[in-house]
Amino acid sequence: SPWKPVLLLLSPPAFSTTCAKCSKDRRLRQKRAISERQLTRYFVDQRKVRVVGGQGGGGGHSFYSEPRKVFGGPDGGNGGDGGHVILKADQQMKSLSSVFPFYQGFHGERGGSKNCYGANGAHTYVKVPVGTLVKEDGKVVADLTQHGEEYIAAYGGAGGKGNRFFLSNENRAPTLFTPGEPGQERVLHLELKTTAHAGLVGFPNAGKSSLLRAISRAKPAVAAYPFTTLNPHVGIVHYQDYEQVAVADIPGLIKGAHQNRGLGMAFLKHIERCRFLLYVVDLSVPQPWIQLQDLKHELEAYEKGLSERPCVVVGNKIDLAQSRINLPLLREQVVERVIALSALTGDNLEELLLHLRELYDTYVKAEQSRGQSPVKW
């Protein structure tokens, strides 16, 4: 016959949306990696916020009446208080990008009859990253450095009084009741300072981002041009006893950074929170000890005593021939301990990780001796 059968080979679907047993085989879609340029749009370390507390509910105005008791007297209840606006530090938040420019607490409900009080307005919680500084008119009013720490940014207004409140022997049938008070209104400036144990400080293209990728699971952008890193990254170094050390990759500094040159003071402030510093210098450049002197000068000019924190000098790019020549010259010029390594090949990373743990243990003992709890990740 002129008709020939045609076989259609249909491949079975990868998963079924109807069968409960097959739905377990559904693959979870992985998060798409965000580039440094896109991440810069999401990373915000300053925010101006207007907060208004909820308004209190008005007092009730009513008189009790029932059969055989017509003149029962006033029974208007008080109104509910307005809700507060509360800033709460959350370790899962890494930026102020999700903070809106305006927040208002919920209003309290009006007082009812039969002496029923109005319900209080619910509080409005605003999650902010750990290390958020709250300023008002240039003055610091709160410093949220611990996970779960809260600060009441705007108080809700008090509820009004019902006419039952104004009952007295002189006035047995009061008709007076008060409205609820408006909530507190403030304009706050939120400023994020990255909270980490160690901070990687160095000039552009010194290899800070490559080093952070080598010792942690953080994936900052790496390229062969300066200012690749445009916002701080925090990587976590895990140890066998389940201790975790947070290392922050600070964007590269240049000469005059304390005068707001380059990325300037926008990222110098992130170094303030670091308990100890890792100076990353490029061993392949002529006279690498000059880099260390310039870095300390910029830190000291920004905040006095910042360059005197516990530190170690990390000589990067030891895999290059010129670096091996400059290494003994660098050790002669500086008094700090110098750890030579290669973030690209992974040479001598173990020495850095061991010394990083020593700095962390020293910091923990110092905080415990003063009766304070060290920052944990």
pLDDT, residue 8, reads 46
Place 10 in a pLDDT band, splitting at 50, 70 and 90. very low
362 lies in a domain? yes
Domain extent at residue 226: 198-370
Tell me, yes or no, whether 241 lies in a domain.
yes
Residue 82 pLDDT > 90: yes
In a domain, 38, yes or no: no
Same domain, yes or no, for 146 and 63? yes
If one counts every other C-beta atom within 10 angstroms of the C-beta of residue 335, the result is 7
Contact 52/85 with Cβ under 8 angstroms? Answer: yes
Domain boundary among 171, 194, 217: 194
pLDDT of res. 1: 46
Burial readout 72-86 (b: 16 or more C-beta within 10 A, e: otherwise): eebbbbbbbbbbbbb
What is the spatial distance between Cα 8 and Cα 126, in angstroms, rounded to a whole number? Answer: 57
Task: Please state the domain count of the chain.
Answer: 2
CA distance 330 to 337: 10
CA angle 236/222/308 to nearest 5° reads 55
Among candidate residues 175, 194, 213, the one where a domain is terminated:
194
Same-domain pairing of 131 and 236: no
User: Which amino acid is present at 241?
Assistant: D
What average pLDDT does the segment 297-322 reach?
A: 85
Tell whether 160 and 272 lie within a shared domain.
no
| Dist. CA 178–CA 322, nearest whole Å | 81
Cβ–Cβ < 8 Å for 252, 202: yes
CATH number of domain containing 320: 3.40.50.300
Give per-residue pLDDT as tens, 159-198: 999 988 888 888 888 888 899 999 999 999 998 877 778 8
Same domain (yes/no): 163, 104:
yes
Q: Are residues 232 and 306 in the same domain?
A: yes
pLDDT in tens, 340-362: 988 888 888 889 899 999 999 99
pLDDT tens readout for residues 32-72:
554 544 444 455 777 899 999 999 998 988 888 777 777 77
Give the tens place of pLDDT for each residue, 206-222.
788 888 888 887 666 55
C-alpha to C-alpha distance for 103 and 144, rounded to whole angstroms = 19
Structure tokens belonging to residue 100: 């809106």
In a domain, 377, yes or no: no
pLDDT in tens, 110-152: 988 888 888 999 999 999 988 888 999 889 899 888 888 999 9
Same-domain check for residues 289 and 220:
yes
Q: What is the pLDDT of residue 14?
A: 46
Confidence of residue 239 (pLDDT cuts 50, 70, 90): confident
Q: What is the CATH number of the domain that holds 116?
A: 2.70.210.12
Same domain for 157 and 205, yes or no, is: no
In a domain, 203, yes or no: yes
Asked whether the CA dihedral 208, 214, 216, 221 is positive or negative, the reply is positive
Q: What is the DSSP letter of 206?
A: S
Q: State which amino acid sits at residue 304.
A: K
Q: How many CB atoms lie within 10 A of CB 300?
A: 14
The CA distance from 73 to 111, in Å, is 16
What distance in Å separates the CA atoms of residue 12 and residue 158, rounded to the nearest whole number?
65
